[in-house]
């Protein structure tokens, strides 16, 4: 973490409503990165098991209800519940969130909706992805009219402790969500499909899964380290007249069409969630 990021986050108390996949990962990441001490990270959830695990792993402070947690008057509040329950949380806490910097990670819930529900708050939307759990995530950030430049910089510093964090327009954040937010599932599907193809071709299931996983990690590391365009990287694997060329001839059209259709479907669902 840079000195500027440390300065922006240093004295802050971050409260997280919802300790699920994302809320829990953000809480752990903030402490594990050294961005904040556990006592400055507050987390609430209906599920006591999730809270106990987080308190034990990261030393964060946990609360059974959001009302008890917000009574501590945290400066930054992260809304990490599902979009379908967010409206109820906003309605319950509109007054409690007066003056707070509120960060929503809910897919599809627009700045306009959030700011209408929280007239006294400064609102920023973030679309992270699941690898924030290992601090190798990617997050898009967009500030509402209620948020100043310093608020957006603070939220960027917060998510930079969990991987890549870029500020962009709200329409771009929705596109980033459909690509990058969902991508961990797309890549996991690729791992599963290749594993199944390997088993069909005669590999033992455990060998196939372990070796495909190792390859996924190796490709991510070597592609990033080389700085190459993915097609240049592909060419280094593809011998003229060889096996990869034969395989890519089959895979490429289906995969490209599938990715375009998948992102279109995710964007259509984002628009539905935005309508409420
Ligand atoms: N899972 C993912 O990969 C991503 C999720 N998101 C967004 O993050 C948000 C959370 O998603 P997940 O973490 O996947 O969901 P999750 O279901 O794993 O976690 C949500 C948590 O909120 C708790 N909760 C529900 N109502 C509550 C309330 N009133 N007070 C306190 N806690 C409450 C639930 O008990 C649950 O533990 C969603 O809005 C989603 O759109 C964004 C990017 C990626
Ligand atoms: O499926 C979802 O709604 C969330 C948002 C981005 C990734 N997962």
> Domain coordinates of the chain in residue numbers?
3-169, 183-275
In the structure encoding, which two tokens stand for residue 162, read together?
Answer: 């969990």
Running along the chain, 276 residues long, what does each successive block of 10 average in pLDDT? Answer: 74 94 93 92 96 95 97 96 94 95 96 96 97 94 97 95 96 97 98 98 98 97 96 97 98 97 97 89
Q: Which CATH topology does 183-275 take?
A: ProC C-terminal domain-like fold (1.10.3730)
The contacts of residue 63 (CB under 8 Å, 6+ apart) are: 42, 43, 44, 51, 69
pLDDT at residue 100, as a whole number: 96
Contact between 2 and 32 under an 8 Å Cβ cutoff? The reply is no
pLDDT at residue 4, as a whole number: 75
Q: Which CATH topology does 3-169 take?
A: Rossmann fold (3.40.50)
Contact between 96 and 70 under an 8 Å Cβ cutoff? The reply is yes
Other beta carbons within 10 angstroms of residue 1's beta carbon come to 13
pLDDT at residue 14, as a whole number: 96
pLDDT at residue 5, as a whole number: 73
Residues flanking ligand 1, CB < 6 Å: 17-23, 44-47, 50, 66, 80-83, 85, 89, 105-107, 127-130, 181
pLDDT at residue 275, as a whole number: 87
In the structure encoding, which two tokens stand for residue 158, read together?
Answer: 């917060």
pLDDT at residue 111, as a whole number: 97
pLDDT at residue 133, as a whole number: 87
26 CA distance to ligand 1 centroid (A)?
Answer: 11
In the structure encoding, which two tokens stand for residue 14, read together?
Answer: 């971050």
pLDDT at residue 11, as a whole number: 82
**ipTM given for this complex:** 0.98
pLDDT at residue 9, as a whole number: 79
């Amino acid at each position: 973490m840079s000195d500027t990021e440390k300065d922006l986050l240093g004295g802050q108390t971050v409260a997280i409503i919802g300790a699920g996949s994302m809320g829990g990962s953000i809480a752990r990441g903030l402490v594990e990165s050294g961005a904040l001490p556990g006592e400055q990270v507050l987390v609430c959830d209906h599920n006591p098991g999730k809270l106990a695990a987080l308190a034990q792993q990261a030393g964060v402070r946990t609360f059974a209800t959001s009302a008890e947690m917000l009574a501590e008057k945290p400066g930054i509040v992260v809304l990490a519940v599902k979009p379908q329950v967010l409206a109820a949380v906003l309605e319950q806490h509109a007054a409690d969130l007066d003056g707070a910097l509120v960060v929503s990670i809910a897919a599809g819930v627009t700045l306009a909706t959030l700011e209408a529900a929280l007239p006294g708050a400064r609102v920023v939307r973030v679309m992270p992805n699941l690898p924030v759990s290992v601090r190798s995530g990617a997050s898009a950030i967009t500030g509402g009219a209620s948020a100043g430049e310093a608020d957006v910089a603070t939220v960027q510093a917060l998510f930079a402790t969990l991987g890549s964090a870029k500020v962009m327009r709200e329409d771009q954040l929705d596109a980033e969500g459909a690509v990058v937010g969902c991508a961990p599932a797309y890549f996991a599907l690729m791992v599963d499909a290749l594993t199944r193809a390997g088993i069909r071709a005669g590999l033992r299931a455990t060998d196939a899964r372990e070796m495909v996983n190792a390859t996924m990690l190796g490709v991510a590391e070597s592609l990033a380290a080389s700085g190459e365009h993915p097609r240049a990287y592909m060419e280094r694997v593809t011998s003229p007249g060889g096996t990869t060329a034969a395989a890519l001839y089959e895979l490429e059209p289906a995969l490209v069409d599938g990715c375009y259709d998948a992102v279109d479907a995710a964007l259509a669902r984002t628009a539905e969630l935005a309508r409420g």
